[in-house]
Structure 1
Amino acid sequence: MIEYFDVTVVVPTKNRVAMLARALMSINEQTVIPKQVIVVDDNSDIPLDKTFFDTFQNLQLDYIYNVKSLGGAATRNLGLNKANTNFVSFLDDDDSWSPYYLENVKLVANSIGNKPAGFYSSKKFVLSNSLQRVLKKRDAIGQVALDDLVCGNVIGGTSSVTLNRLALEKVSGFDEHLPALQDYEFWLSLALAGVSFYPCVNSYMIYTINVNNNQISSNFNNHIRASNIIREKLFDRVPKGTSPKLDAALDYSVVKAVHRRSYIKSLPMTFRMLLKHRRVKGVLLLIPYKAMNFFGKYST
């Protein structure tokens, strides 16, 4: 007998049919099945045929095709607005979940009770050209609130997060004006509204590092613009004395994005960041990205 979880999984996708199939199969093979899966296609070159979804027989699937590209934030918001369950999870088309992912999220969610809450999972990291080899693991280790998030995106990307309806009612969705860092800004906005994030230690999201480095989030100019927008939007809202921490976290995000694309361009930015914020973690960015990769130290 199939056990269900009152959750909608929102899956944004674009031009990655094979990876999307992997993501959906990981949902289809969950020990606890979501009530709804919404695939939002952000204007792929060729819309998916309905027969593509026949393989995923355990899932109640809805497919939305954007007639023009709207971007990641708006695409996720479309899924959020159509979801009619008490919980919403996110899964990017190039990521996947371990079979017990939703079962463990459900257990933690039931233990929290009726209050606004988010839930974040542990993570395993793989390369897009070697999906079976786990490079490293990062466990969800504690409750996360605003004091933690102003120091950096300790939660991670959307594929590791589930939110209950009470939390979603606190904010208006992802900021569609941000060219990057939409997930981090969303977690900050939720935390500012009083939402805490609870760890699902035994749930594993498998995060795919794209070796071609062509993800939208890898465009460092987008990170620069996004970090400045977040400063203007949130600096006056965070508790007094914490804006320098958020400033340091945003600078680190920008330098890390530049570091992935151009080590030479990142060097002066790294030195300025180290002098300005004295962040020990930033010292790692003095090592070329390819050298970090050689030793398995992917800057994820």
Structure 2
Amino acid sequence: MNEKPLVSAIVTTHNRPALLPRALDSVAVQSYPRIELVVVDDGSEEDVSPVVEAYREAVPVRLLRNRKPEGACRARNRGIEAASGGFVAGLDDDDAWTEQRVEKLMEAYSDNYAFVTSDVRMVYEKKAPVWRKPAEISLDDLLYSNYVGNQGLIRKDRLLAVGGFDETLEAAQDYDLWIRLAEQFGPVKNVREPLQDIHMEHSGERISNPRDQLRGYLKFYQKHKPKMNRNQRKYQLYNIRKATGKVAGLADLIGWVPPHRWWKEVKSLVAGEMLE
């Protein structure tokens, strides 16, 4: 009667068999007692089944394979649809969880929040700064910027209720999903402890196509623009300009960023320069 809910760890992968074990290792050693592993191979050129099958003794495993690449959103949605757990926790194939990630996210979970996430460690070749997020991330916060990042622990029925990942977007798919979840189910809760490592020190192939990133983000912006106030729209456009190299300096910061976001943006720019 008191059995803990099953959590489905969904790992999507594409052409990175050398990196995949790091992610799968981190799922296999989770301290939370009820986890299944769902791996979705998005049309990799090399068969990843030998890598995945090696984990069956450690954790229940399901392997799904797209015959040809269908993109990150379809891969993630296939994983969600196939998940047996009442909760879903995503993980990219090049990243890793800390041993207690799922346990601590489940302890923090409340239906009063859309879902729960955590701080993360950004692992570069020579350093690993921690991205510290607010304890609570509101819809208003999200309409300014993606304060969640790329992963969370979410009830499966809520993911299905909002339609999962938008397969028409080429970029900002996770950001788009967080906004839709927050819009329907309330703010996001953040565990203020780095429970995931985001590895930035390699240049392996990703599921999404980098050439489509800007077009995809513009489509994302148009989709959510009606929800945004004037300041949120300006800040989103500033980030688009920054991504395309059109931000010249302080004049752009003053002209496009709302005053109450200036200090955050300055800190962000300084942090980016320190990490390069």
The CA deviation string for residues 105-130 of structure 1, in whole angstroms up to 9 with x for no partner, is 12112xx2x55630111111112xx4
Matched, 1:198 2:198: no
Matched, 1:141 2:134: yes
The CA deviation string for residues 9-45 of structure 1, in whole angstroms up to 9 with x for no partner, is 1111011112110000011111114432111111111
When structure 1 is superposed on structure 2, of 116-125 and 178-187 the one drifting more is 116-125
Q: CA deviation at 1:84?
A: 2.2
Change in CA separation of 1:49 and 1:211 when aligned onto 2, cut-off 3 Å: closer
Secondary structure of 1:186's partner? helix
- Measured in 2, the distance between the counterparts of 1:156 and 1:286 equals 17
- Structure 1: give runs of 5+ residues left out of the alignment: 259-264
The CA deviation string for residues 34-79 of structure 1, in whole angstroms up to 9 with x for no partner, is 4321111111111223464214522111111111111111110110
- Structure 2: give runs of 5+ residues left out of the alignment: none
Using the size of structure 2 for normalisation, the TM-score is 0.85
- Measured in 2, the distance between the counterparts of 1:97 and 1:201 equals 15
- Measured in 1, the distance between the counterparts of 2:184 and 2:31 equals 33
Secondary structure of 1:37's partner? strand
- Select the structure with the greater relative contact order (CA < 8 A; seq sep ≥ 6): 2
Matched, 1:223 2:220: no
When structure 1 is superposed on structure 2, of 3-12 and 178-187 the one drifting more is 3-12
Secondary structure of 1:201's partner? strand
Matched, 1:73 2:63: no
Amino acid of the structure 2 residue aligned with 1:183: D
**Which residue of the partner structure matches residue 168 of structure 2?**
177
- Measured in 2, the distance between the counterparts of 1:288 and 1:141 equals 17
Q: CA deviation at 1:8?
A: 0.5
Give the number of aligned pairs. 271
1:9–1:34 Cα contact (<8 Å) kept: no
**Which residue of the partner structure matches residue 87 of structure 2?**
87
2:55–2:61 Cα contact (<8 Å) kept: no
Of the candidates 234, 250, 257, which is equivalent to residue 248 of structure 1? 234
When structure 1 is superposed on structure 2, of 49-58 and 118-127 the one drifting more is 49-58
Secondary structure of 2:92's partner? coil
Percent of aligned pairs with the same residue? 25
- Measured in 1, the distance between the counterparts of 2:241 and 2:231 equals 15
Matched, 1:275 2:255: yes
Change in CA separation of 1:106 and 1:247 when aligned onto 2, cut-off 3 Å: same
2:5–2:85 Cα contact (<8 Å) kept: no
Matched, 1:157 2:147: no
- Measured in 1, the distance between the counterparts of 2:138 and 2:72 equals 25
Q: CA deviation at 1:186?
A: 0.7
Superposition RMSD in Å: 3.0
Secondary structure of 1:94's partner? coil
- Measured in 1, the distance between the counterparts of 2:32 and 2:267 equals 40
**Which residue of the partner structure matches residue 262 of structure 1?**
none
1:117–1:166 Cα contact (<8 Å) kept: no
- Measured in 1, the distance between the counterparts of 2:204 and 2:153 equals 26
Matched, 1:16 2:16: yes
Secondary structure of 1:254's partner? helix
